[in-house]
Amino acid sequence: MGITKPGALTNDILTTATDEVASLSNKDILILWAGANGISKNNTNEALKYLTKFMEEHKRTNIILIHSLHRYDLTTISCVA
């Protein structure tokens, strides 16, 4: 099963994921790709806070966290870089 939420912030993604993870066990794998929109809004610390809390609360499921890709199209002083 796959769920996408283009444009959503990390907290919105994790709220949806929380409902889905409730039925998963240690034999399941959740692939989570979140945080890019938080970075683009210079809100990385908040996104990391939500991700850390989510990971701690769902230890019985195997979670693979995909980090945001580096942006090469931005200036070095950009808050997004």
Strands (E), the chain: 29-33, 62-66
Residue 81's pLDDT is: 47
CB neighbours (10 Å) of residue 18?
A: 12
d(CA 17, CA 20): 5
Which residue did the predictor score with more confidence, 81 or 12?
A: 12
Instruction: State pLDDT tens for residues 15-66.
Output: 888 888 888 899 999 898 877 766 666 667 787 888 889 989 998 889 998 8
Q: Tell me the average pLDDT across 66-79.
A: 71
Q: What pTM value is reported for the model?
A: 0.70
79 pLDDT above the threshold of 70: no
d(CA 53, CA 80): 23
d(CA 29, CA 16): 16
